[in-house]
Amino acid sequence: MARKKKIVDALAASEQKYRHLFSAVRDPLFLLDQETGEILDVNEAACLLYGYSRDEILTLRDIDISAEPEKTRQAMIEVPAHIPIRYHKRKDGSVFPLEITASKVIINGRDSIIASMRDITQRIKMEKQLFSERKISKTYLDLASIMFVVLGRTGTINAINKEGCDILGYDEKDIIGQYWFDTFLPTRDAQEVKQIFKKVISGEYDNFRFFENTIVTASGEERIISWHNTTLKDDKGNITGVLSAGSDITDRKKTENALIESERRLVAAQSMAQVGNWELEIGAQSIWGSKQALSIYEYDDNSPYVPLDVVQESVLPEYRKMLDTALSSLIARGKKYDVQFRIRSAKTGIEKVIHSRAELVVDENERPAKIVGTIQDITEQKKLEEKLEYLGYHDQLTGLYNRRFFEKELARLDKVENLPLSFILCDINGLKLVNDSFGHALGDDLLVKSAEVLLDGCRDNDVVCRLGGDEFVIILPQTDAEETVTIANHIKELATNEIIANIELSISYGYDTKHSEEESTHEILANAENYMYRHKLYERSSMRSKAIDIVMHTLFEKSGRESQHSSRVSEICEAIAIKLDFKRNEVTRMKIAGLVHDIGKIGIDEQILNKSGKLTDDERAEMEKHSEVGWRILSSSNEFSELAHYVLNHHERWDGKGYPHGVSGEEIPIEARIITLADAYDAMTSERSYKAGISKQEAKEEILKCAGTHFDPKIVDVFVNNVELSS
């Protein structure tokens, strides 16, 4: 909208500038339709010259004010040109000579002409006198309001009138005798004009009667002069010089350029905004369209007029009646015409969305004369609006409706006619575990698959929404409790057939039904949610236990070395626990803790996990995250939640220099201290691609050296002196 307003403001400013310049010029100016000669606009000077009011003159054509209609029409066809002297007539019938300078412009798609009319009655009289007597009357020349210059055969200035001195900004004495081309012309033009002058003096060139060029004044300002030239001859017919009568047309040229620039900006702005103009004469069978309008409809004809039935045929059938009604209302009652509709290009078959506005133009009798309007291709804008609307009401990951839409749709459906109104609330079991173990990409896959299952299990008129995270809700209008249970069970059955990363999709659900208008919808939803959480507590534990088994299996598939390492650490932990007189169930727990101590490595890149050489600093930093990842995975299951603390701390050191939290001594759980020693012992005695393993005795000696720094001294003593390993 901001861009559109900027374009509209620019057009308005351009139009205002054009009006100001058009009115400010002293010469009479006309804006004409080149084809018909219709007078489209005039300035005040034109009204004064011809003796008409503005309203009167705007009803005329160019031939109505001409004393030579045929010559006038022919001259208008040949523009741009400096038209030789023509004779026009005023309102009172008097005929007078004038000089016309015309330029072609395009206004609103129409070929038009800007014409400047200068009354040269006085000049003609003076020229006749000069030509017949072959002498210059200084008195008459100084009274003239145009510039007169007499150049000798060499191009020096022999005479100049007062107006010429005023325009050039010099005293007469400083001008006479100067070389015209070097003194008063811009360097860029001097040589060209000098060559033309030489040809005129030699008689080789006679097309010098009308001429426009730029002069330079005493202040350095450049002015544009329109010259009416004639050669001066002696009694024998020899050319002795040139007499030039010049009119300062700088202001007029600025106006013309401003009009051309205004039109250029209009066309550019319309192109940027994809806006076109159109006009329809009341009762006409064809419609005029600007270049941009025809481009929108994809018409290639050279004519700007298109048959009305061809335009109507482009409109999709479902919009035609609406457009006819809107147009009829505009003509009959002046009702606002502001419509949107769709068209299909006959050329490409592409559909477009069109926005059109129009106003009624009446004649002098207040009767409808024609309709003028604009059209704009808003196809891309509509697509963007639809996309924004979609994003505003849809979950970007699953494509389901979002919470915002749910609240809006709930308000719409919570009506008596939709009772009984049922709700199913669903929760995806184990999503956090999947995210922590396998990454959020796989968690997203789980959500997308869950959304597909919910849609497959529902009817077409049911509304499925994702409220956020792993929670979904289904609105079921006109559905009783029995049918709701059937749908919920069907969804659950569909879910059991879906496997993501070897994990069975598990959905917990709760439901409730609103039977009467008096029941609170919020309470119904709360009941459904409570029911869902009861189901979830029952189903979550077993599902997460299965998931953790799958995580370990997946880790061992990624790295055979990790599988063997975990088994050996598990055996060492069990042996140490026995020698420390742990209870039977504690020994079992210690054995399992040793087996799963590196479960957090599931999230580490396989290339790092199986790297044959030493790890880089970045790779080591990535590897050190595994104890925290393991803690998140195990703590999600009640069955393994206690083991999570052992796994979190199994890289802490007795002296507090370990990770991730730098705790020390007995602040570290004893189970974690056991895993620390078992993990280090197996790492030292195991052979790696980049180093050979050391002997058991050497490893025990190394552990003894680190007692009190890396390891708990008591556990070191038990391990070194009392534990015998089978391998």
Percentage of the chain surpassing pLDDT 90? 28
Amino acid identity at 249: I
Joined tokens for residue 484:
């709701």
Assess whether 111 and 190 both reside in one domain: no
Which strand ranges, in their side-by-side order, compose the sheet holding 29-33?
A: 39-42, 29-33, 110-119, 95-107, 81-89
Decide if pLDDT at 702 tops 90. Answer: yes
- Total structural domains in the chain? 5
Secondary structure letter of residue 298 according to DSSP: T
- Structure tokens given for 551: 């995580």
Is 415 a domain residue? yes
Check pLDDT > 80 for residue 153: yes
Confidence class for position 471, pLDDT limits 50, 70, 90: very high
Strand partners, 99: 118
Question: Does one domain contain both 155 and 221?
Answer: yes
pTM over 0.75: no
The answer to whether residues 192 and 279 belong to one domain is no
Q: Are residues 115 and 92 in the same domain?
A: yes
CA distance linking residue 276 with residue 297, whole number of Å? 10
* CB neighbour list of residue 707: distance below 8 Å, 6 or more residues apart: 713, 716, 717
Whole-number pLDDT of residue 35: 85
Do 229 and 352 reside in the same domain of the chain?
no
Do 96 and 141 sit in the same domain of this protein? no
The answer to whether residue 395 sits within a structural domain is: no
Q: Which position has the token pair 């005040």?
A: 44
115 lies in the same domain as 126: no
> 296-323: per-residue pLDDT in tens?
888 876 788 888 888 888 999 999 999 8
Return the minimum-mean-pLDDT range out of 187-196, 470-479, 695-704: 187-196
Residue 258 resides in a domain: no
Neighbours of 196 (CB within 10 A): 15
Same domain, 574 and 709: yes
User: What does the block give as tokens for 428?
Assistant: 């995806």
- Name the 3-class secondary structure at 237: coil
Top pLDDT among 206 and 328 is at 328
Chain segment 210-219, per-residue pLDDT in tens: 778 888 898 9
Q: How far apart are CA 494 and CA 496, in angstroms?
A: 6
In a domain, 463, yes or no: yes
64 in any annotated domain: yes
The domain that holds 475 is classified in CATH as 3.30.70.270
| End-of-domain residue from the set 93, 119, 145 | 119
Torsion of CA 619, 623, 625, 629, to 10 degrees: 130
Mean pLDDT of 602-631: 82
Rg (CA), the chain: 48
Same domain, 696 and 607: yes
Q: Does 109 or 118 have the greater pLDDT score?
A: 118
Task: Tell whether 268 is covered by a domain.
Answer: no
Same domain, 313 and 235: no
What is the enclosing helix (H) or strand (E) of 95? strand 95-107
Greater pLDDT, 78 or 42:
42
Tokens found for residue 613: 């050489």
* Same domain, residue pair 193 and 230: yes
Same domain, 189 and 221: yes
Measured in whole angstroms, the distance separating CA 268 from the mean position of its chain's CA atoms is 18
Q: Is the pLDDT of residue 82 over 70?
A: no
For the stretch 399-458, pLDDT in tens is 999 999 999 999 999 999 999 999 999 988 877 777 776 778 888 988 999 999 999 999
Q: What is the CATH number of the domain that holds 579?
A: 1.10.3210.10
Domain assignment of residue 467, given as a range: 405-546
Which of 47-51, 121-125, 500-504 reaches the highest mean pLDDT?
47-51
Contact call for residues 83 and 49 (beta carbons, < 8 A):
no
| pLDDT tens sequence across 210-245 | 778 888 898 989 998 888 888 888 878 888 888 888
Residue 394 falls inside a structural domain: no
CA dist., res. 682 & res. 676, Å (int): 10
* pLDDT above 50 for 134: no
- Single residue among 97, 119, 141 that ends a domain in this structure: 119
For residue 656, the model assigns a pLDDT of 94
In a domain, 727, yes or no: no
Eight-state DSSP code of residue 685: H
The dihedrals phi and psi of 160, each to the nearest 5 degrees, come to: -155, 140
CATH of the domain at 351: 3.30.450.20
Domain termination site, one of 514, 546, 578 = 546
Calpha distance 217→169 (Å, rounded)? 6
User: Which ranges in 280-417 belong to alpha helices (H)?
Assistant: 291-297, 308-314, 317-333, 379-393, 403-413
**Between 414 and 366, residue with greater pLDDT:** 414
Closest CA to 668 of 680, 681, 650: 650
Q: For residue 469, give the DSSP letter.
A: T
Average pLDDT over residues 342-368: 88
Pairing of strands 368-377, 275-281: antiparallel
